[in-house]
Structure 1
Amino acid sequence: MRKTQFSVLAAAAVFGTISLASCNKETESQPSQLEQTQDAKAELAYPNQTGQAKQGEFSGQPITYQEINGDKVYEGDILLTTEQVAASEGQNRPGSAGRTSGRWPSAIVYYTIDAALPSQNRVTDAIAHWQANSPVRFIKRTTQSNYVTFRVGSGCSSNIGMIGGRQYINLASGCTTGNTIHEIGHALGLFHEQTRNDRDTYVNILTQNIQAGYEGNFTKYSAQGYGGTDYGVLDFGSIMMYGSFSFSSNGQPTITKKDGSTFNIQRTGLSAGDKSGIDAMY
Structure 2
Amino acid sequence: MKFNDLPPWATGLLVSFSLLTSCKQELEKAVPLSAEMKTPADTILRNVEDAYPGVSGIVKEGVLEGQPIRYMEKNGQAVWQGDIILSPEQLSGNGPNSPEQLAQPGKNAKTEGAGMTNPDRRWIDFIIPYQIGAGVNESVISNAINAWQSSTPIRFVPRTNQTDYVRFVQASGNSSALGRQGGMQEIRVQSGVSAGTVMHEIGHTIGLWHEHARADRDAHIIINWHNIISKEEENNFWQYYEGDGFDFDPFDFNSIMLYGNYDFSKDPKNLPTMVKKDGSLWTLNRQSPSSSDARTVKSMYSNLYIIWNGSLYGVNPKDGSFVNLGSGMLAPARSIAEDKNELRIIENGSLWKVNRLNGQKQKLGNYYWGGSVGLTGADPYGYCYAQHGTRLWKIDRFGNRTRLGGVNALENWSGTQAVFYHKNALYVIWKDALYKVNTTTGLVDRSYGSGWYNINGMAALFSSSNELYILSGSSIRRMNLITGTYTPIPGSFTNVKGMTAVGGVIYLVSGSVLYKVNPLTGARQTLSGGWDATTSIGSSRYADL
Q: Specify whether residues 131 and 227 from structure 1 end up closer, same or farther in structure 2 by C-alpha distance, changes over 3 A only.
A: closer
Q: Residue in 1 aligned with 2:287?
A: 268
Q: Residue in 2 aligned with 1:102?
A: 121
Listed as ranges, the gaps of 5+ residues in structure 2 are 1-41, 102-106, 112-118, 302-545
Report matched runs for 1:30-179 at 5 Å. 40-86=46-92, 98=110, 102-114=121-133, 116-179=134-197
Report matched runs for 1:178-217 at 5 Å. 178-212=196-230, 213-217=232-236
- Taking the aligned partners of 1:121 and 1:228, their CA distance within structure 2 comes to 32
Would the aligned equivalents of 2:130 and 2:165 in 1 still touch at CA under 8 Å? yes
Larger radius of gyration: 2
Q: Residue in 2 aligned with 1:230?
A: 247
Matched letter for residue 240 of structure 2: Y
Q: Specify whether residues 93 and 127 from structure 1 end up closer, same or farther in structure 2 by C-alpha distance, changes over 3 A only.
A: farther
- Taking the aligned partners of 1:235 and 1:156, their CA distance within structure 2 comes to 22
Listed as ranges, the gaps of 5+ residues in structure 1 are 1-35
CA shift for structure 1 position 129: 1.4
Encode CA deviations 1:38-90: one digit per residue, 9 max, x unaligned. Answer: 954430010111200111111111111111111111110111111211379xx
Would the aligned equivalents of 1:40 and 1:267 in 2 still touch at CA under 8 Å? no
Query: Aligned residues, how many?
Result: 241
Q: Specify whether residues 93 and 200 from structure 1 end up closer, same or farther in structure 2 by C-alpha distance, changes over 3 A only.
A: same
Would the aligned equivalents of 1:146 and 1:164 in 2 still touch at CA under 8 Å? yes
CA shift for structure 1 position 200: 1.0
Task: List structure 1 segments (4+ residues) > 2 angstroms apart after TM superposition.
Answer: 36-42, 92-101, 225-232
CA shift for structure 1 position 168: 0.5
Structure with the larger RCO, 1 or 2 (CA within 8 Å, 6+ apart): 1
1:220 aligns with 2:232: no
Encode CA deviations 1:131-164: one digit per residue, 9 max, x unaligned. Answer: 1111101111111100001111111111110000
CA shift for structure 1 position 221: 2.2
Matched letter for residue 73 of structure 1: V
Name the TM-score, length of structure 1 as normaliser. Answer: 0.78
Encode CA deviations 1:77-119: one digit per residue, 9 max, x unaligned. Answer: 111111211379xxx99986936951001111011111x1332
Would the aligned equivalents of 2:171 and 2:188 in 1 still touch at CA under 8 Å? yes
Encode CA deviations 1:174-205: one digit per residue, 9 max, x unaligned. Answer: 32111111111000111100011111111111
CA shift for structure 1 position 265: 2.1
CA shift for structure 1 position 248: 0.9
Matched letter for residue 254 of structure 1: T
- Taking the aligned partners of 1:87 and 1:230, their CA distance within structure 2 comes to 23
Higher strand share: 2
Matched letter for residue 65 of structure 1: Y
The alignment-based identity, stated in percent, is 41
Matched letter for residue 72 of structure 1: A
Name the TM-score, length of structure 2 as normaliser. Answer: 0.42
Q: Specify whether residues 135 and 84 from structure 1 end up closer, same or farther in structure 2 by C-alpha distance, changes over 3 A only.
A: same
